[in-house]
Every structure is written in C-alpha cells, then in structure tokens.
C-alpha cells in the first residue's frame, strides 16, 4: 500500500539520488495528509544529503509520516499509525535488500503468520497524498495537485466479517487484500 512504496534510499531504478529539500520543507509536506490535530506531534522520516531515509523529527503522537522520495517520479507522502511501524519497517528493509514487488508482501505475510512480525490488534489508520512531481508548493505549504487516500488496516479482515465489498466502489469504502495481514479498508474520496 501507499507507505510501503517509499524506499530506504533516494535512488530510483538506476537514477542518482536527487538533492532532498530542506528538512523543514520535507516535514511540512509529509504531515499534510494528517488531520490537523495530529500534525505537530507526528514523527517524520525523510531524506538526508546522501538520499538515505532518516528521522527528521521525533514525535510523541500516534503517527509516523514519510516524506516524498526526492528521486521519485511523483509526489507521495504518507502517515500511518505507530502500530503499523513493524510492518512498514520490514517492507523498507526488504526493499533495501533488493526484494521486489509481491515478494515483499509474501515475506511479510509469512513473518506475520509465524509471529515474527507484530501487526496491530486494533484498526490502524493511514493517510496519504499522491500527485505528479512538483505537487507540493513550499511557499503555501500545500499540495493542491495531490489526491488524498485514507485507509484503515484491519489485519486478516474479510468481506464476510466486515460486510465490505472486495471490489472498488466509488464513493463507498471497500476492503483490499482481504484475509491477509495487510487487509485494509479503502476510502477514496474520488476514483
């Protein structure tokens, strides 16, 4: 899902890392998807001079936010509940070791089912914004060209247990990856 797409390095498929924006700009952009009351207390992970992911701000609140990869082809920021950090961190670790695509989830699912990866015991939210490169306007501190997405992780939930369709339905929530540790309810304001 959204936050899992971030890499541990700023380099994308054969391209050298782009210079990251200043930390304050990365933090401002990274927390944009969150409801206002959670922004100031969020932990923010962003990119350093060498393109590596690092903690830009230690927070005390319930969310961890990821800045947009400066070497990425699009603007993408995501904030997820702290209870999802083991799952998200494992994805970043696997990608850094060269694991790709669906194999990342295959490993994480096996880890979760074997008890090696702690998943939340309660629903856990993720908020993101995605748009074309340059979507974030540092002068206004907004991302007017980015599209929001909200999800609630409910590990191993199914359509039968939730009453939610496993098929995308515009204007209605639906369940993605049902029956897996990554099961989550999707809320897409406009498809």
Q: Which residues constitute the domain of residue 74?
A: 2-138
Q: How far apart are CA 131 and CA 136, in angstroms?
A: 9
Residue 148 lies in a domain: no
118-142 pLDDT tens trace: 999 999 999 999 999 999 999 999 9
Residue 52 lies in a domain: yes
99-117 pLDDT tens trace: 999 999 999 999 999 999 9
Q: How far apart are CA 35 and CA 45, in angstroms?
A: 18
Domains of the chain: total:
1
Tell me the Cα Rg of the chain.
16
Residue 154 lies in a domain: no
Residue 163 lies in a domain: no
- Matching residue, tokens 């944009």: 32
Q: What is the DSSP string of 12-80?
A: -TTPPPPPPPPHHHHHHHHTTTS-HHHHTT-EEEEE-TTSBEEEEE---SSEEEEPPPTTSSEEEEEEE
pTM, 2 dp: 0.87
């Amino acid at each position: 899902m959204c936050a899992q797409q971030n890499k541990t390095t700023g380099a994308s498929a054969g391209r050298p890392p782009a210079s990251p924006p200043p930390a304050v700009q990365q933090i401002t952009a990274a927390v944009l998807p969150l409801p206002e009351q959670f922004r100031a207390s969020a932990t923010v992970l962003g990119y350093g001079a060498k393109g590596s992911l690092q903690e830009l701000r230690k927070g005390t609140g319930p969310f961890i936010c990821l800045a947009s990869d400066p070497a990425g082809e699009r603007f993408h920021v995501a904030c997820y509940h702290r209870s999802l950090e083991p799952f998200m961190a494992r994805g970043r670790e696997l990608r850094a070791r060269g694991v790709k695509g669906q194999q990342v989830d295959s490993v994480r699912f096996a880890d979760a089912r074997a008890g090696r990866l702690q998943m939340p015991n309660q629903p856990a939210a993720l908020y993101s914004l995605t748009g074309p490169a340059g979507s974030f306007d540092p002068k206004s501190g907004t991302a007017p060209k980015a599209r929001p997405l909200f999800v609630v992780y409910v590990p191993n939930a199914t359509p039968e247990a939730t009453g939610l369709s496993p098929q995308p339905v515009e204007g209605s929530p639906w369940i993605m990856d049902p029956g897996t540790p990554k099961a989550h309810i999707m809320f897409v304001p406009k498809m």
